[in-house]
């Protein structure tokens, strides 16, 4: 079966990292002042990681672990926005264009509403798409689960892509 130019695909991504002391909190490429940050091999930006996995999955190109393994020292402390730019180029090289991205961050603290528009702008800029194609939302878990206990932060993303014309 061959693909045609109307080929539309959907992908989903999920990421979670533990909150820990002595780390910066970076979400959507925005450094947020908070007493803890996310622990991980790169900057641990769960939002960008979820977005990248959604995009890679939609194009059937694997996941971020395949492309940016935590066993590779090159990615130690990496800026996830730079990794997202790489994913955008990978999609382009495989003939795909991003239609839209919808995402949600689950965190009890800190309040993220003041940073949402900058997160949207960072994602759209990294992928060279209009900001109105990127949705970022934040929610609490009403003090339930690891997010509600402020032990970690998670993010989910869904995207649609199409074969570029």
Q: Summarize the annotated binding site for a divalent metal cation as residue ranges.
A: 15, 17, 49
Nearest to 129 by CA among 161, 95, 163: 161
Mark out the alpha helices in the chain (DSSP H runs): 46-58, 64-67, 80-93, 116-127, 145-148
CA dist., res. 165 & res. 125, Å (int):
21
Q: How far is CA 62 from the centre of its chain?
A: 15
Feature table: binding site: 15-17, 41-42, 49, 63-65, 68-72, 139-142, 146, 149
CA dist., res. 151 & res. 107, Å (int):
9
In degrees, to the nearest 5, what angle opens at C-alpha 31 toward C-alphas 77 and 135? 105
């Amino acid at each position: 079966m061959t693909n045609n130019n109307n080929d539309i695909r959907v992908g989903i991504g999920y990421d979670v990292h533990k909150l820990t002391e002595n780390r910066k909190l970076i979400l959507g490429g925005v450094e947020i002042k908070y007493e803890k940050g996310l622990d991980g091999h790169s900057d641990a930006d769960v939002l960008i990681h979820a977005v990248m996995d959604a995009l890679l999955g939609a194009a059937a190109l694997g996941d971020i672990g395949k492309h940016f393994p935590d066993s590779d020292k090159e990615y130690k402390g990496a800026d996830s926005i730079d990794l997202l730019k790489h994913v955008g180029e990978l999609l382009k090289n495989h003939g795909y264009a991003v239609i839209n991205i919808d995402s949600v961050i689950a965190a009890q603290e800190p309040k993220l509403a003041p940073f949402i528009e900058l997160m949207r702008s960072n994602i759209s800029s990294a992928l060279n798409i209009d900001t109105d194609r990127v949705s970022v939302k934040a929610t609490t878990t009403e003090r339930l689960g690891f997010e509600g206990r402020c032990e970690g932060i998670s993010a989910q993303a869904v995207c649609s892509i199409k074969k570029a014309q």
